[in-house]
Chains A and B, each alone.
Chain A
Amino acid sequence: MDTLTKTVGEKQIEKQSMAGSEAVIRSLLAEGVETVFGYPGGAIMPVYDSLWHFQEELKHILTRHEQGAIHAAQGMARVTNKPGVVFATSGPGATNLITGLADAKIDSTPLVCITGQVASPLLGTDAFQETDIISISMPVTKWNTQVTKAEDIPSAIAKAFYIATSGRPGPVLIDITKDAQFASLDFSYKKCNGFRSYVPKPALDHDEVEKAARLIDSAKKPFILFGQGIILSEAENELKAFVEKTGIPAAWTVLGLSAMPTDHPLNVGMLGMHGNYAPNKLTNECDVLIAVGMRFDDRVTGDLSRYAKQAKVVHLEIDPAEIDKNVKTDIAILGDAKESLQLLTSLCSENNHDDWVQKFHDLKAIEYDQVIQKELNPDKPGLTMGEVIRRVNGLTDSEAVVVTDVGQHQMVACRYATFKQTKSNVTSGGLGTMGFCLPAALGAKLGAPERAVVAVIGDGGFQMTLQELGTIFQTNAAVKIIILNNNFLGMVRQWQQLFFDKRYSSTELVNPDFVTISKGFGIEASSVSERQYLDAALKTMMDHDGPYLLEVMVEKEDNVFPMVPTGASVEDVRLS
């Protein structure tokens, strides 16, 4: 390898001559990347060959499917707030990333995906494994670009990391032609810290914050809604300070879960379709609604024309396109949640709203009686999903990262899991991607090896990406996998029961033996179906040194309540 020195302006920049493929690896190292998830193939082989020489510095996790790789990278990003990195080959390798890209886009997860592409002279010729991944991934990436020249690799990667992680984070994709990977360049790496067409963080407008503070101070029934923006901007302490100083009750969206300890006295629970009774009902009673880092998803708002119409709305948000998108705001505070909350808290007066908070407790008592008690301490023989989660809370002292898939078990886990630490709830919120959990849990465990990681999966979703048991076995990542087996695509069955006259069209599953499957992958496993053995089974799982799969046979036709049916208003939340 030649080392040459060039004088650029006044500065001497060390330049090393190397292949584009090696420049990919060195660029990632310069960004502090330690782990990459991926799957090799023809068009990305030069990069894999370069990777061979950097095995000490850059760990590569060979998943069993590219969808597994990208969900694992998402899981890692969600527990670390650092971008997940993925390699895939051209054609099918690249198209297998699409679901993960869409998931990361809608859940604002920072990812840098690098795909191989056919050599540039072959572009547009329908060459073997050529696919126009730039066009295909366009609507599901925050940004993407194709690199056809080796010398462009470092600057493209630098820009990719900057875009993925700044402002509202998101997935980016760089497609690198094979000839660019082979060609050589004079390598030097310069991190990107801004460019003309991109304003990641709107400047905070003090006057608006001041106005908001006056409105909040004068409110009789103020209500805070927080979302993942808190976690992404690391504003957990600022949120807590704001809530405690103003005495305002706060509720979370699914992605905001764990940003505030679940047992905080002003934490009043979950919003939305399967959220808690009180926050849904009282959304339509509050006088000032303060939304922080959330985007008023339709699963949160229900019917918009009957959503919080009585309230003045303050929206703290980093993405200007979210303002007034779904809910009309009275005061928009554009900017990073951390800075916005800091200023807002300093301008608000100390206050308490005990009578108003009491209303939340009163409604919670109703929900407790009619729903929660039966779910957590059932008096019927069949196991409920909720009692499993309650025991996991106990066994992990609310310190675990809980990763969920999509369906009833997801809603139950989000409702009943308790958290002390932030970045502890990893789930596919916006896209609702079945198959997300198993690979995401692997990524979460690798991203937070010191923490217990519990994957809670339905029997349906497990079978969408179960091949990643192979990756879990190979890496020996100590993921604790709980399959809540109801022999149904439970959430769809629930809707069929409630809205389609119990016509269970294609939702019953005849399942394989999950324990044998797991053992076949070399992962210790067991199954439990009776309450008297549940505690011991969960304890065995948690105590086991290494990954473990526990199948829990639960009641087949349980439903998740409360529920705001599609098209209904939040105040029409049903308890049964």
Chain B
Amino acid sequence: MKETFTIVVFTENKIGLLNRISAQFTQRHINIESLTASESEYPGIHRFTIVINEDEEKTRKVVKQIEKQVEVLKAYCFKDSETVHSEIALYKIKMDPSLDRPKLDNVLITHGAFVQEQVGSFMIIAKTGTKEETHQLFEDLYPFGLQGFVRSGRVSLSNTMSTFKTYLQALETHSKEIITDNF
């Protein structure tokens, strides 16, 4: 049975790793629903958050293959119930005279969204939440003449204690040396 998994990968900050990681999915015909990459709270370590919809066995196998890549420190995989996750969406709306502003403000309040910026004759609305929530706002803003829409990939934190921190400490005491050069 397919379900949503969030795969979190900690890696060294190296060129080409994104390629190596994404290729693990391509090779196994797994579609990546979303992928975000950024620096983590640990200096020099990057964090990838990848969302897929797959069956559990296939997911666990691909996670092992990812972890096997030389510059990957650790890969975890979580079910939705094991994480707190969020996405951000931006919506562009044209501010012409016909715009029913009170009605719009009302929609924004119900959704916990806000006007991030007004640029010229447009306003940009921002909303964080799950995909379902940002999608609902999309539906609700549509009648106001939505001009543009973008949604980020998922960011997520597991709702248990971080095991990565302990793992990293163990790695650093065990490995004879942390290579900090370019290779």
State how many angstroms separate the Cβ of B43 from the closest Cβ of chain A. Answer: 12
Residue numbers in A under 8 Å from B72 (CB-CB): 197
Nearest-CB residue, chain A, relative to B26: A139
State how many angstroms separate the Cβ of A298 from the closest Cβ of chain B. Answer: 15
Q: Mark A257-286, 1 if CB is under 8 A from B, else 0.
A: 000000000000000000000000000000
Report which of B12, B71, B177, B183 forms a contact with A194, defined as CB distance below 8 A: B177
Nearest-CB residue, chain A, relative to B57: A324
Contact A197 B70 (CB under 8 A): yes
Contact B27 A197 (CB under 8 A): no
| Cα A159 to Cα B179 with chains together (Å) | 9
Contact B23 A321 (CB under 8 A): no
B156 within 8 A of A: no
State how many angstroms separate the Cβ of A140 from the closest Cβ of chain B. Answer: 11
Nearest-CB residue, chain A, relative to B23: A139
State how many angstroms separate the Cβ of A552 from the closest Cβ of chain B. Answer: 41
Nearest-CB residue, chain A, relative to B65: A321
Which of these binds chain B: A141-149, A382-390, A424-432?
A141-149
Contact B68 A321 (CB under 8 A): yes
- Of the listed residues B68, B70, B71, the one surrounded by the most CB atoms of chain A closer than 10 A to its CB is B70
A539 within 8 A of B: no
Residue numbers in A under 8 Å from B101 (CB-CB): none
Contact A196 B73 (CB under 8 A): yes
Residue numbers in B under 8 Å from A12 (CB-CB): none
Contact B67 A155 (CB under 8 A): no
Contact B70 A320 (CB under 8 A): no
- Of the listed residues A198, A320, A325, the one surrounded by the most CB atoms of chain B closer than 10 A to its CB is A198
Given contacts A196-B179, A198-B71, A319-B68, contact A138 B23 (CB under 8 A): yes
Contact A320 B183 (CB under 8 A): no
Contact A134 B61 (CB under 8 A): no
| Cα A163 to Cα B171 with chains together (Å) | 17
**CB-contacts of A174-196 with B (<8 A):** 192-196
A199 within 8 A of B: yes
Contact B179 A195 (CB under 8 A): yes
A156 within 8 A of B: yes
Residue numbers in B under 8 Å from A321 (CB-CB): 61, 64-65, 67-68
Task: Decide if the interface of chain A is mainly helix, strand, loop or mixed.
Answer: mixed
Contact B183 A138 (CB under 8 A): no
Contact B19 A138 (CB under 8 A): yes
Q: Mark B140-183, 1 if CB is under 8 A from A, else 0.
A: 00000000000000000000000000000001100111110111
Contact A197 B176 (CB under 8 A): no
| Cα A324 to Cα B16 with chains together (Å) | 28
Contact B177 A143 (CB under 8 A): no
B49 within 8 A of A: no
B134 within 8 A of A: no
Q: Mark A476-497, 1 if CB is under 8 A from B, else 0.
A: 0000000000000000000000
Contact A142 B176 (CB under 8 A): no
A135 within 8 A of B: yes
State how many angstroms separate the Cβ of B93 from the closest Cβ of chain A. Answer: 39
B11 within 8 A of A: yes
Contact A156 B183 (CB under 8 A): yes
B20 within 8 A of A: yes
State how many angstroms separate the Cβ of A31 from the closest Cβ of chain B. Answer: 15
Contact B12 A196 (CB under 8 A): yes
Contact A138 B12 (CB under 8 A): no
Given contacts A196-B73, A197-B70, A321-B67, contact A134 B16 (CB under 8 A): yes
A524 within 8 A of B: no
State how many angstroms separate the Cβ of B60 from the closest Cβ of chain A. Answer: 8
**CB-contacts of B1-48 with A (<8 A):** 11-12, 15-16, 19-20, 23, 27
| Cα A397 to Cα B183 with chains together (Å) | 48
Residue numbers in A under 8 Å from B182 (CB-CB): 149, 152, 155-156
Contact A155 B178 (CB under 8 A): no
Contact B179 A192 (CB under 8 A): yes
| Cα A135 to Cα B15 with chains together (Å) | 11
Report which of A139, A197, A320 forms a contact with B71, defined as CB distance below 8 A: A197
State how many angstroms separate the Cβ of B30 from the closest Cβ of chain A. Answer: 15
Task: Decide if the interface of chain B is mainly helix, strand, loop or mixed.
Answer: mixed
Interface size range of chain B in the complex: 20 to 34
Report which of B11, B61, B172, B181 forms a contact with A155, defined as CB distance below 8 A: B181
State how many angstroms separate the Cβ of A148 from the closest Cβ of chain B. Answer: 9
State how many angstroms separate the Cβ of A202 from the closest Cβ of chain B. Answer: 11
**CB-contacts of A112-171 with B (<8 A):** 134-135, 138-139, 142-147, 149, 152, 155-156, 159, 163
| Cα A156 to Cα B182 with chains together (Å) | 8
Nearest-CB residue, chain B, relative to A321: B64
| Cα A139 to Cα B65 with chains together (Å) | 12
Residue numbers in B under 8 Å from A146 (CB-CB): 15
Contact B16 A155 (CB under 8 A): no
State how many angstroms separate the Cβ of A320 from the closest Cβ of chain B. Answer: 6
Q: Mark B86-117, 1 if CB is under 8 A from A, else 0.
A: 00000000000000000000000000000000
**CB-contacts of A419-477 with B (<8 A):** none
| Cα A108 to Cα B171 with chains together (Å) | 25
- Of the listed residues B11, B172, B177, the one surrounded by the most CB atoms of chain A closer than 10 A to its CB is B177
Residue numbers in B under 8 Å from A320 (CB-CB): 64, 67-68
| Cα A145 to Cα B19 with chains together (Å) | 13
Residue numbers in A under 8 Å from B70 (CB-CB): 142-143, 163, 197-198
Residue numbers in A under 8 Å from B27 (CB-CB): 139
Given contacts A138-B20, A143-B70, A197-B71, contact A152 B181 (CB under 8 A): yes
| Cα A142 to Cα B71 with chains together (Å) | 10
Nearest-CB residue, chain A, relative to B72: A197
**CB-contacts of A286-326 with B (<8 A):** 319-321, 323-325
Residue numbers in A under 8 Å from B20 (CB-CB): 138
| Cα A147 to Cα B182 with chains together (Å) | 9
Contact A325 B61 (CB under 8 A): yes
Residue numbers in A under 8 Å from B16 (CB-CB): 134-135, 138, 144-145
Nearest-CB residue, chain A, relative to B73: A197
Residue numbers in A under 8 Å from B176 (CB-CB): 193-194
Residue numbers in A under 8 Å from B179 (CB-CB): 155, 159, 192, 195-196
| Cα A321 to Cα B75 with chains together (Å) | 12
State how many angstroms separate the Cβ of B42 from the closest Cβ of chain A. Answer: 11
State how many angstroms separate the Cβ of A276 from the closest Cβ of chain B. Answer: 31
Contact B73 A195 (CB under 8 A): no
Q: List 21 A-B contacts (CB under 8 A).
A: A138-B16, A143-B70, A146-B15, A156-B182, A156-B183, A192-B179, A195-B175, A195-B177, A196-B73, A196-B171, A196-B172, A196-B178, A197-B12, A197-B70, A197-B73, A197-B171, A198-B71, A319-B68, A320-B67, A321-B68, A325-B61
What is A's interface to B at a CB cutoff of 8 Å?
Answer: 134-135, 138-139, 142-147, 149, 152, 155-156, 159, 163, 192-199, 319-321, 323-325
